């Protein structure tokens, strides 16, 4: 499912901005885009996303702003005096070089600690991921409604196929008997020859689509139950729709009735739409 979340968190003049985006994906992939100085947080951000999301490609972007005012550097006169005395005792030298020694020049305001930076970044990321998850949940509700509409249409087609099936099988048997009688005409082979009857029984069974109809109906019920249960059902729907497609194809190959074939074509279109929608569900 797709989703987007943006959030900011601050502490004093330190601010972290985070964005979380998700696009459809069969499996879960987390990609973190961080400044080099924040790469240490990538494992924590990855774990944060995986606790909230089970499927899709997730991008997490973070940046940190330090809003402190730029001030002139400050000279530590006491440290400079110590370095100057030491230089004089050594016989003198370039006094300007003393300014580059540790502790002589310092910023008027210390840099924020690593712990403070990590805290505001994770706070912003948590809120952004939660907003993204909420957006995905809203889209999931809409997709579930669309899937239920497709299921209703499939059930209507299946109901018609179930009603037409007995007459289709009878017509197929009658046509088969007619062809067999025509082939046996003028031959010495009896119509009740056991081997012939066995072959005819096998051919007749291949025209019966009752079992496929029952299995297809069972799979449609399973899809509806999965949607009612909620939670992460995307992979389960993938499997069920694969089985539904298989049963629809089998019905189409076994049935010879034109009206059933028309319904099968409509069912195939519905199954493809269901697959596209299920691919977007977590």
Domain assignment present for residue 165? The answer is yes
Confidence tier at 277 by pLDDT (50, 70, 90): confident
Same domain, 52 and 145: no
Q: Is the per-residue pLDDT at 108 higher than 60? A: no
Provide the mean pLDDT of the chain. Answer: 82
At 122 the pLDDT is 94
Q: From the CA atom positions of the chain, what is the Rg in Å?
A: 36
Separation of alpha carbons 89 and 276, rounded Å: 82
At 143 the pLDDT is 82
The three-class DSSP label of residue 54 is coil
Domain assignment present for residue 114? The answer is no
At 175 the pLDDT is 67
Whether residue 129 contacts residue 56, with contact meaning beta carbons closer than 8 Å, is answered with no
DSSP letter, residue 231: S
More confident residue, 253 or 190: 253
Same domain, 272 and 170: yes
At 75 the pLDDT is 77
Confidence tier at 25 by pLDDT (50, 70, 90): confident
Q: Is the per-residue pLDDT at 72 higher than 70? A: no
Residue 191, strand partner residues: none
Separation of alpha carbons 165 and 259, rounded Å: 10
Name the least confident of 44-48, 74-78, 93-97, 196-200.
196-200
Nearby residues of 41 by Cβ (< 8 Å), 6 or more positions away: 32, 34, 62, 118, 121, 122
Same domain, 166 and 245: yes
Distances 139 to 125, 126, 243, 277 between C-alpha atoms, Å: 21, 20, 25, 11
At 2 the pLDDT is 79
Q: Is the per-residue pLDDT at 186 higher than 70? A: no
Nearby residues of 44 by Cβ (< 8 Å), 6 or more positions away: 122
Q: What is the pLDDT of residues 187-223, one digit of tens each?
A: 665 656 665 556 655 665 666 788 889 999 999 999 8
Domain assignment present for residue 246? The answer is yes
Nearest to 154 by CA among 229, 218, 72, 197: 218
Same domain, 175 and 123: no
Same domain, 153 and 101: no
Domain assignment present for residue 200? The answer is yes
Name the least confident of 89-93, 105-109, 142-146.
105-109
Nearest to 152 by CA among 85, 227, 96: 227
Same domain, 240 and 162: yes
At 208 the pLDDT is 77
Q: Is the per-residue pLDDT at 98 higher than 80? A: no
Domain assignment present for residue 112? The answer is no
The three-class DSSP label of residue 8 is strand
Same domain, 175 and 147: yes
CA angle 225, 231, 234 (to 5 degrees): 75
Nearest to 271 by CA among 160, 141, 142, 158: 158
Same domain, 146 and 237: yes
Name the token pair of 225. Answer: 């139950």
CATH of the domain at 63: 3.30.230
At 70 the pLDDT is 56
At 20 the pLDDT is 94
Q: For the chain, what is the domain count?
A: 3
* Domain of 184, in residue numbers: 139-278
At 71 the pLDDT is 57
Same domain, 45 and 89: no
Same domain, 31 and 57: yes
């Amino acid at each position: 499912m797709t989703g987007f979340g943006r959030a900011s968190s601050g502490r004093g003049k330190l601010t972290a901005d985070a964005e979380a985006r998700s696009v459809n994906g069969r499996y879960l992939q987390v990609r973190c885009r961080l400044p080099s100085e924040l790469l240490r947080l990538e494992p924590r951000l990855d774990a944060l996303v995986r606790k909230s999301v089970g499927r899709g490609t997730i991008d997490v972007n973070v940046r940190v702003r330090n809003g402190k005012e730029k001030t002139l550097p400050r000279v530590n006169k006491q440290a400079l005096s110590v370095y100057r005395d030491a230089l004089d005792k050594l016989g003198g030298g370039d006094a300007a070089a003393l300014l580059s020694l540790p502790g002589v020049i310092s910023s008027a305001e210390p840099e924020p600690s690593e712990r403070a930076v990590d805290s505001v970044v994770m706070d912003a990321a948590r809120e952004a991921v939660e907003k993204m998850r909420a957006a995905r949940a809203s889209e999931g509700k809409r997709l579930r409604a669309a899937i239920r509409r497709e299921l209703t249409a499939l059930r209507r087609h299946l109901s018609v196929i179930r009603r037409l099936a007995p007459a289709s099988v009878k017509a197929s048997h009658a046509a088969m008997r007619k062809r067999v009688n025509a082939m046996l005409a003028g031959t010495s082979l009896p119509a009740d020859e056991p081997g012939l009857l066995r072959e005819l029984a096998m051919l007749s069974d291949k025209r019966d689509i009752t079992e496929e109809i029952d299995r297809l109906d069972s799979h449609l019920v399973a899809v509806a139950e999965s949607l009612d249960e909620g939670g992460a059902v995307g992979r389960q729907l993938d499997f069920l729709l694969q089985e539904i497609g298989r049963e629809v194809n089998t019905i189409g190959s076994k049935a010879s009735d034109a009206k059933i074939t028309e319904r099968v074509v409509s069912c195939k279109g519905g199954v493809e739409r269901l697959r596209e929608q299920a691919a977007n569900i977590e």
